[in-house]
Amino acid sequence: MPTAHALDSVALDVGTLTGSQWRLENINITLTDLAQSPQKLALTIARLSLPKPFNDLNLVNIRCTAFTWQNKELLCKQGRAKMRSKHWQSPAANFSFQVTEKHSSFKLSGLQLAGGNIAVEGEERGEHWQLQINAKAVDGKLIQQLMPQEIFKLQAGKLDVKLTASGSHESVNKLALTVGLNGLTGQTQDGRLATEALMAAATLNAQNNNGVWQWQTYVEFNGGALYLEPLYLEAAGQHSVLDARGDWDASNQRVEIHSASYQQSNVGALSGSATIQYKDGISLDKARLSLNSDNLQDFSAIYLKPFFEQTVLQGVTLAGHLTADFSINQQALTALVASFNHLDIKDEAGRGEVQGGAGRLNWSSDETFSQSSEIAWQQLRVRALPIGPSRLSFLGRAGDIKLLKKTRLPFLGGAIAVNHFSFQAKKQQEPEVSFEGDVSNVSLEQLSLALNWAPLSGTISGQIPRVEYSNKTLSLGGELIVKVFDGEIKISNLASSGLFTDFPKFHSDLEIDNLDLDQLTSKFEFGGITGKLSGYVRQLYMENWQPVTFYAWLGTPDDDDSRHRISQKAVKNIANIGGGGAADILSQSFLSFFETFGYDKLGLGCYLHDGVCQLMGVEATESGYAIITPGGLPRINVIGYNPRVDWNVLMERLKRITTSDEVIVE
C-alpha cells in the first residue's frame, strides 16, 4: 500500500505590491507546522523600496510573524528587516508596516549600527510622503562609508542625526535636519578643511517653494578645533554661534542670504546679508556687513593674521575696539564706515607703530561722496621716527584721499606742518600724490639718536614746497629749503622716475650756504673744524640710488670771517680722502705736538663721469691742487697730487680713511 505523508506547510506567492511612492517586491505568505497547534503564519518580503530622493535606502529580508491582510489592508504588527544601500548593509532590526489603498507607513527601530542606535519611519498618503531618520551616537566611520573617501576622511568621533523630510512624488518639499558632533576628527584630501575633536550642534530647516529653497540654519561651536583654510578656530572656552536664513535657487545657481550673524564670545560679531553666485566659481554679487569687536587683539590673531601671512602686512597686530559697516558689489568694496578707539597697531618688522588711535573713517566709491573722516593718535612711529599726538581730517572717496584741514605733527622737539596732501589712484597706473608743508625746530640730537647716527647738535627748519608724484615720477615744484647747522641747504630741480621699481632714477641740484663746521664736525669721529662751509651739488643724476654723474664743490666761502681752526685728526682724514700721506708727515715732524692748526681756506670738488671722480681743490699748484691752504699759527698746507680717483675707491676711503702717499703736508 502507498504511504501517506502529512502536509507540513502551505505557501502563497503574492508577487509585487506597488503604491504611488512605495514598492513591495516578492511578497510571500507561508503557513507552517500544519501538524501542530497552533500553526505558524509568516509574511516575507524581499524588498521595500522607498521613494526618491531616498531610493538608495531599501528594506530587505522582511519577515513578519504577526500580520493581518484583509479589506485591502496589509498590516505587519511585528517583524524583522534589514536596511541596505549602495555603500553599506545593516543587521536585522524590529520592523512594522501598514499598506492600504490611500495610506502606507513603515517603522524600523532598534537598529544597532556602528555603535549607535538608528530608527527609520516612513509614511505615504496619496501623493504625499514623509520620512524620518533618527540616529544616536553613531560612529563617524558610518558617515565615512556613505561618502567618497577622497572628499573627506573621518578618523574618529560620534554623531547624533535627526532628519525629517516630506514631499510629493519624487520631490522633497520640506527638510529638517539636526546634527550633533562629538569629538569629530577628520580632513579633506587637499587639507583645506579639517576638524580635531570637534564639538558642535547644528540645525537646518528648509522648504521648497516653486524650485527655490527657503532655509534657516543655526550652528554652535562648543569644543575642539576647526581649520578652514586659512582660518584655524579653536574653542578654548570661547563659544561661537552662526545663525542665518535665506533662499537657494538651484536652477540659477544662486544663494540669497537674507540675514546672517556670527558671534564668538570675547572676540567679536559679524552680521549682514549677501548674494552669492556659484555658476562659474563662487562670486560675491553684493553684501552688506557689520563688524563689531571689543577685542581686536584676539580678533586680528584669529581672523586677520592668517590673511596677512606672506603679504606686506605680515607681523602686524591690532588691539582696541572697532565697529565697521561695509558694502560690497560685484566683489568690490563700495562703501565703508568704521569707528575705532583705544587702537594699538604693532609691527614685528619695526616699520611702524600706533598707540591710542581713535577716529571715524567714511569712504565710498561714489565720486560725489562728501562725508569727511577723522583719525587721531597719541603716538605714531614710522620706523624709528616718533610723531606725537595729532589729528587728521580728510575726505576719502573712490580712489582719492584729500586732507581737509592743515595740521601740525609734533616731531622730535619740533613740528612737521602738513599744509596740503592729496592721493589719487589711477586704473592700471601709478597713483598721483601731492604734498606741501614745512619743518620747524626739529632736534638734530634727537633725530641722530633715533636713527642711530653719531650725535649731532642744533635744529632743522625749512619749507617743503609742493612735492608731486605722477606718471611714476616724483618732482619738486620749487625749492626745498632746510635750515640746519646755522646755515641753509636748498634742494631744487628734484625729480625721480621709477621710484617704486627695481631701478629708480633720481635728479637734483643742491646749494649749501654757510653751514657751521663746528656744529657739523664736533660730534663726529672725523675730527673737529671751525669756520663756515658752502658749496653745491649740480646736475646730480642717480640710478638705483647710486650716483652716475654730478659736479660738486664744498669749501670755505669767500665772505667767511669766522675763526678757522682744524684738528690734527681732521687734517689726516681730509688728506686721506684725496689719497695722500698726511698721517705719516704729521707723526714725523714737530707738527705732531699741535692738536689744532690754523687755515685760510679748505675745499674739495669732484666731477663724476664714467665712474671716475675728477678732483679739484681750493687752488691749483705746480704739482697738484691745494685742499687746505695755510692761515694763522701753526700753519698747515694740504696738497693733493692725484686728480683722478675711481668713485668706488673714493667711497672706500670715506668708509675706512686709509692712507697713501699722494698728499704732502707742509
Strands (E), 54-141: 58-70, 73-84, 93-99, 103-113, 116-125, 128-139
- pLDDT value at residue 394: 96
Read off the DSSP letter of residue 303. Answer: I
d(CA 417, CA 464) in angstroms, rounded, equals 9
pLDDT band per the 50, 70, 90 thresholds, residue 113: confident
Residue 575's closest CA among 638, 502, 650?
638
- Residues 375, 392: contact at Cβ < 8 Å? yes
d(CA 541, CA 609) in angstroms, rounded, equals 11
**For range 407-411, the mean pLDDT:** 95
- pLDDT value at residue 299: 93
- Residues 449, 480: contact at Cβ < 8 Å? no
Axis-axis angle for helices 568-577, 647-656 (nearest 10): 160
d(CA 346, CA 461) in angstroms, rounded, equals 30
Q: Which of 188 and 20 is assigned the larger pLDDT?
A: 188
**For range 550-564, the mean pLDDT:** 93
Q: Which three cell numbers stand for residue 97?
A: 508596516
What is 430-460 written as a DSSP string? EEEEEEEEEEEEEEHHHHHHHTTPSP--SEE
- pLDDT value at residue 8: 56
pLDDT band per the 50, 70, 90 thresholds, residue 54: low
Q: Which of 42 and 593 is assigned the larger pLDDT?
A: 42
**Least confident span in 99-108, 296-305, 347-356, 549-558:** 99-108
- Of 74-83, 131-140, 490-499, 550-559, the range with the highest mean pLDDT is 550-559
Residue 35's closest CA among 63, 10, 65, 67?
10
Half-sphere exposure of 136 (CA within 13 A, CB side): 5
Residue 326's closest CA among 313, 335, 317?
335
What distances in angstroms separate CA 378 from CA 238, 324, 345, 387, 440, one per listed residue?
Answer: 32, 22, 12, 9, 20
Percentage of the chain modeled with pLDDT above 90 = 40
Residue 390 pLDDT > 90, yes or no? yes
pLDDT tens, position by position, 333-365: 999 999 999 999 999 988 899 999 999 999 999
**Least confident span in 52-66, 313-327, 384-398, 403-417:** 52-66
Gap between the terminal Cα atoms of the chain: 160
- Cell numbers 617704486 correspond to what residue? 500
- pLDDT value at residue 665: 43
Q: Which three cell numbers stand for residue 76?
A: 505587519
Residue 320 pLDDT > 90, yes or no? yes
**For range 254-275, the mean pLDDT:** 95
> CA angle 81-86-92, nearest 5°?
15
- Residues 395, 425: contact at Cβ < 8 Å? no
- pLDDT value at residue 200: 93
**For range 511-515, the mean pLDDT:** 94
- pLDDT value at residue 328: 93
Percentage of the chain modeled with pLDDT above 70 = 87
Q: Which three cell numbers stand for residue 20?
A: 504611488
Neighbours of 312 (CB within 10 A): 9
What is 18-72 written as a DSSP string? E-SS-EEEEEEEEEE-TTSSS-EEEEEEEEEEPPTTSTT-EEEEEEEEEEEEETT
- pLDDT value at residue 187: 87
Residue 541 pLDDT > 70, yes or no? yes
Cα-based torsion angle of the residue sequence 68, 73, 75, 81 in order, rounded to the nearest 10 degrees: 120
**For range 142-146, the mean pLDDT:** 64
**For range 138-144, the mean pLDDT:** 73
Half-sphere exposure of 506 (CA within 13 A, CB side): 19
**For range 307-324, the mean pLDDT:** 92
**For range 434-441, the mean pLDDT:** 91
Let me know how many helices (H) and strands (E) the chain has, helices first. Answer: 8, 44
d(CA 347, CA 354) in angstroms, rounded, equals 9
Residue 658 pLDDT > 80, yes or no? no
- pLDDT value at residue 33: 53
Residue 216's closest CA among 202, 200, 197, 236?
202
Residue 289 pLDDT > 50, yes or no? yes
- This prediction has a pTM of 0.74
Residue 292 pLDDT > 90, yes or no? yes
- pLDDT value at residue 87: 65
**For range 603-617, the mean pLDDT:** 93
d(CA 571, CA 598) in angstroms, rounded, equals 11
Strands 352-364, 390-397: pairing is parallel
Per-residue burial over 580-597, b = 16 or more CB atoms within 10 Å of its CB, e = otherwise: bbbbebbeeeebeeeebb
What distances in angstroms separate CA 127 from CA 55, 104, 171, 212, one per listed residue?
Answer: 16, 11, 10, 21
Average per-residue pLDDT in the chain? Answer: 84
Strands 473-477, 10-18: pairing is unpaired
Read off the amino acid at residue 315: G
**Least confident span in 136-140, 244-248, 383-387:** 136-140
d(CA 200, CA 185) in angstroms, rounded, equals 12
- Cell numbers 565703508 correspond to what residue? 336
Residue 303's closest CA among 255, 348, 352, 267?
267
Q: Which of 201 and 172 is assigned the larger pLDDT?
A: 201
Q: Which of 20 and 368 is assigned the larger pLDDT?
A: 368
pLDDT band per the 50, 70, 90 thresholds, residue 20: low
Q: Which of 7 and 338 is assigned the larger pLDDT?
A: 338
**For range 113-132, the mean pLDDT:** 83
Longest Cα–Cα distance in the chain: 164
**For range 590-612, the mean pLDDT:** 84
d(CA 622, CA 637) in angstroms, rounded, equals 14
